[in-house]
Structure 1
């Protein structure tokens, strides 16, 4: 916790005045939008950006965007992973545009779908794939299939996890270790302890005990936590989770949506993990809605058998609660094929990771120079600092280190200097187009902010 709150308020007020002076056109657009958009934004969470109003974007390319006030920004947020390949990558745009001109959605497959599935199978080692419009939808569908295949009701998730807007994952542990709904969870359909078991990321005995009850259909995990801050797994944790799932007949689902920053096949390929299901989203479409999940052949057969796809159950395939008329559409699969084969290739990862190493070193240098009790953690092409002296071991430690007012100041300070970092936490992501000069802009600005706070 930053103790000099008066100083923080003074710095915040100064940055707020600067923001207003730099972004008058965005303010005008926001005021006009308030007539028909609640809080002037298309999704209410956009109101959480620092400043009196959100910055309006006019155009973007690579690792930069220009706002309505004509300011060039280095984008280290990249749509919170949705634009990890950079904005408007040429190969993806060409494939998407060409497909749009020939029709976008048919409820019928095109050649691109099979090619895209093959590319994903090659990267993640799982042979059978299905497509959605988001990782949230992929996670929802996978959990339904897991319940269908196992005959069990519950899902196990990690405290402070993130799997999109999946209802079962909006559970947390209270101070007494009971499963409850997350703070301000909007309209949960049922009490979360009816659907979900929650354990801390570092609580392997708790996870094993939960699975031994035989009530859990699936374990849904991020291979490293990202949305609460970067929390890396302890050595041997993934192997122990896999073993516990094997002992208890539980389906292991790994959500690589954010951790695709670790390498072409995420942490699954990099670390030799063995999930039954992998979920990916956001990044793979090159900037358009896209998601997918891959399964082992064994699980795919269990699902088929449980649904009687080979027999009289086939007439009900469209009413089972999985899928949508736009899922797997021609434009999405064209974008996935082009992005995986021509943009987010194995060859671009070393440069992305090198930029993340430079960003981490710049943040660490300022922390060391001013003897600040913060830490910085990197995962592949992604890195984040947090307001605690040591890396968090689990989501609760990461959450307890949060200081919203301090975070907002640092975000606004960066924004006023033409740098956008991921909202709601202090994370930066590198694209294939991010340069060392882009990283250096953040390094200079971050040192300036830390000097203002602690100098």
Structure 2
């Protein structure tokens, strides 16, 4: 296991005193620069629980969330008039930029025709063909969030296999699906800490092993009670963990041999290419989920299955007792979603846009790595397509346990606020940065320059370092 470069007195090789000094100074600058946002949040958000419309908004490391005036392309502007290069992009929800023109046009067009009516539209018929062409699976359904899509796909897996359990990888992220809210603690499965109101031992429904550990996977599947392995192609919601060579091939072979279905959740790794990591790397899932960016910012998700699984589910439907399946929500598969998804898949998720994203993401990866090397920091950079992360620990990381140990919350929070003060917004959760079709080279270079300056301040800038 890689040492996380964290001690009682330091994080990421930086003393806690130096980290606190930076965070205090940057927080002061942030408050001074945003009096309108500060006043608006103090006076206008009192009706919300904890002062925010959605509790994750408290997770921004800033002294308070700034109020957004507008967002366009790869830029976001706050109430105080500060324009930021946006590399968070709604934590993937706006991965293709804010309000891509084809999506905005499709929304305006559909708004004149009705927003929901629980029946298919012409766009729906086009979308079904697009999903099969883009992602390779035969049969599809529409949901509103990736969490819902994962829940429904797992129900199908249990139904067709007759097995009760699923298997997840330690450190995974699949939205708020209950069965995935487990971790490995002291070598044993346990509920994740912090779950609100959870009254069950979730490990009773779930097996959990480390990512990249085929031996542990084999042992867990050998029990014969796992309906489905649900997997991100790359662990993304902590410190990024890439698959070791041969991992996905071994995962697919093992699941087939043990009669277990394989669900690939591409919600974050769609950054890889037009068909996601699945198409780029020749994966062969039985079930597939994609949420967040698939509708260009409109809440929507899709989940698909192979022809074989579809046939098995049809047979199950014939023999099960009639009644509500527990799958589906009223506003899912509404015409606004269809219009936005069709525009996104046809006109936004194009090879040309992905080539632009890949090129600038590679530039960002190189610039961040150079800054880390220049200042002698024990950090590294990881990338999957247009998604880039700097990790304040040595790498590469091999599994979820190493990813958790590499997390440096105080250090990451200080860097985040310092970047905001220099006009760069990154994701608040895990140092994630996305390059969109709207992102420009000068924005990437501003981010790497700001990161270099902050890294130098933290490391103790050597003579001749970046200014």
Unaligned runs of 5+ in 2: 1-5, 462-467
1:33-112 correspondence runs (5 A)? 33-112=44-123
> 359, 371, 386: which is aligned to 1:366?
371
Shift of 1:346: 1.6
Q: 1:189 to 1:149 in 2, by over 3 A?
A: farther
Q: Say whether residues 1:382 and 2:387 are aligned partners.
A: yes
CA RMSD of aligned residues (A): 1.2
Matched with 1:154 is: 165
For the 8 Å contact 1:157–1:219, the answer to whether it is kept is yes
Give the one of 402, 424, 438 matched to 2:443.
Answer: 438
Partner residue in 1 for 2:243: 233
**1:256-313 residue CA offsets vs partner (Å, 9 max, x unmatched):** 00000000011100000000011001111011101001110110111111111xx895
Residue 179 of structure 1 contacts residue 192 of structure 1 at CA under 8 Å; is this kept in 2? no
Whether 2:18 is the aligned partner of 1:7: answer yes
Asked if structure 1 preserves the Cα contact closer than 8 Å seen for 2:239 and 2:407, the reply is no
Structure 1 CA distance for aligned equivalents of residues 114 and 338 of structure 2? 13
How do residues 193-342 of structure 1 correspond to structure 2 at under 5 angstroms? Answer: 193-308=203-318, 316=323, 319-342=324-347
Secondary structure of residue in 2 paired with 1:372: coil
Secondary structure of the structure 2 residue equivalent to 1:253: strand
Work out whether 1:423 is the aligned partner of 2:428: yes
C-alpha separation in 1, matches of 2:198 and 2:122: 40
Give me the whole-angstrom Cα distance separating, in 1, the residues matched to 2:149 and 2:343: 21
TM-score by length of 1: 0.97
Greater Cα offset, 35-44 or 17-26: 35-44
Between the aligned partners of 1:368 and 1:144, the Cα distance in structure 2 is 47
Unaligned runs of 5+ in 1: none
Distance in 2 between residues matched to 1:417 and 1:39, nearest whole Å: 28
**1:91 Cα deviation from its structure 2 partner:** 0.6
1:187 to partner: Cα distance: 2.2
Aligned residue in 1 for 2:132 = 121
Conserved? CA contact 1:158–1:199, under 8 Å: yes
User: Hey, what's the Cα distance between the residues in 2 that align with 1:220 and 1:189?
Assistant: 23
Give the superposition deviation at 1:189. Answer: 4.5
Verify: 1:349 aligned to 2:354, yes or no: yes
Show the counterpart of 2:3.
none
Q: Is the 8 A contact 2:127 2:342 kept in 1?
A: yes
2:406 corresponds to 1:395: no
Partner of 2:39: 28
**Cα distance, 1:247 vs structure 2:** 1.0
Distance in structure 1 (CA, Å) of the matches to 2:197 and 2:244: 35
Aligned partner of 1:447 among 443, 452, 461 = 452
Q: Say whether the 8 Å CA contact 1:130–1:292 is kept in structure 2.
A: yes
Runs (4 or more) in structure 1 with deviation over 3 Å come to: none
**Residues of 2 paired with 1:51 and 1:336: CA distance?**
33
Q: Does 1:145 align with 2:150?
A: no
What do the CA deviations read for 1:101-159 (whole angstroms, capped 9, x no partner)? 11011111112112112112111110111000011100000011111111111110000
| Maintained 8 Å contact 1:172/1:181 | yes
Shift of 1:389: 1.8
The alpha-carbon deviation at position 336 of structure 1 amounts to 0.2
Give distance in 1, aligned partners of 2:419 and 2:107: 33
Report the alpha carbon displacement of residue 30 of structure 1 after superposing the two structures with TM: 1.0
State the 1:34 CA deviation: 3.6
Q: What SS does the corresponding residue of 2:116 show, helix, strand or coil?
A: coil
Aligned with 2:299: secondary structure? Answer: coil
Matches of 1:180 and 1:6, distance apart in 2: 34
Contact 2:179/2:203 (8 A) holds in 1: no
Aligned residue for 1:234, secondary structure, equals: coil
